[in-house]
Amino acid sequence: PQELFHFLPLFCLNLLFIVTFFQTVSAQTAISPAPSGPTNITQVLEKAGQFTTFMKLLKATQVSDRINSQLNNSNQGLTIFAPTDNAFSSLKSGTLNSISTQNQLQLLQFHILPTLYTISQFQTASNPLHTQAGNSDDGEYPLNVTTSGNQVNVTTGVIDTTVSNTIYSDNQLAVYQVDKVLLPMALFGQGPTAAPAEAPAPTKPEKSVRASDAPKGSSDSPAVDSSAVGLNGYSGVTLFAAVFANAVVSYLWM
């Protein structure tokens, strides 16, 4: 009994040390939420749907790479008007093929504003808006917006359309759906090149993507690190073995 009385303080001290050590290790290896991935315009359009043609053109001209690079390497905001697949289908056959690769690039850049505009900020925007296609003051790439309540009207001098949906919006990027391709005066100044009107297809529910739902380059459910799970199971066995060994060594030492 007397030996046991002397043994207990040493045992408790060592036990406290072991428990503290394992708590520290567990805290350091705890699984933390995956960091948010960089904004990717292609993934935004893929998730929204019905923008396949616009997305393919962005990739083919490498405009999508430039957009992603600008968003992730600078603090400059962007506003993008994204025409739907139906908007491209309504163009006269061969419209895109009738212009050069350089002009196709300018057509896409005409849909991009180098400034972030929220819907409310369009109400106070100064016309013509500056686009990435070129100077809007010389009559070649004018883009004008007017508002009526929450409705935003877009005019190029060739076509008129409205913003029909907000696809994506955060503090650096806004992507708005338009139901017509924005044709600039410099390339299509003779007038709209729309195909004959056809019976309207059944409308589909619009998809609105909140900033929090924006693609992050990973699946919706965060992956669990299997090595961390294994460590937790292994730690319980190791802790028990360490306590038992400590008890034996302490007793023999006494």
**Phi/psi of residue 185, nearest 5 degrees:** -60, -40
* Contact residues for 127 (Cβ-Cβ < 8 A; gap 6+): 142, 144, 145
123 burial level (CB within 10 Å; 0-12, 13-18, 19+)? middle
Q: Which residues contact 129 (CB under 8 A, 6 or more apart)?
A: 113, 136, 143, 144, 145
Which residues, at least 6 apart from 81, have a Cβ–Cβ distance to it below 8 Å?
A: 111, 112, 154, 163, 176, 178, 182
Whole-number Å distance between alpha carbons of 181 and 194: 10
Per-residue pLDDT of the chain (254 residues; tens, 9 = 90+): 555 555 565 665 666 666 565 555 454 434 333 345 678 999 999 999 999 999 999 999 999 999 999 999 988 899 999 999 999 999 999 899 999 999 999 999 999 999 999 999 999 999 999 999 987 666 678 999 999 988 999 999 999 999 999 999 999 999 999 999 999 998 888 644 444 445 455 555 555 445 444 444 443 433 434 444 444 444 554 555 555 556 554 555 55
The C-alpha atoms of residue 125 and residue 127 are separated, in whole angstroms, by 6
d(Cα 23, Cα 194) in Å, to the nearest integer? 68
* Helix, strand or coil, per DSSP, at residue 63: helix
Q: Are 3 and 10 in contact (CB under 8 A)?
A: no
Q: What is the reported pLDDT for 201?
A: 56
Query: What domains lie within the chain, and their CATH numbers?
Result: 1-25+230-254 (no CATH), 41-213 (2.30.180.10)
In this prediction, residue 39 carries a pLDDT of 86
Q: Which of 243, 211, 177, 190 is nearest to 17 (CA)?
A: 243
Determine contact, residues 161/179, Cβ cutoff 8 Å: yes
Report the distance separating Cα 201 and Cα 248, nearest Å. 81
CB 187 within 8 A of CB 92: no
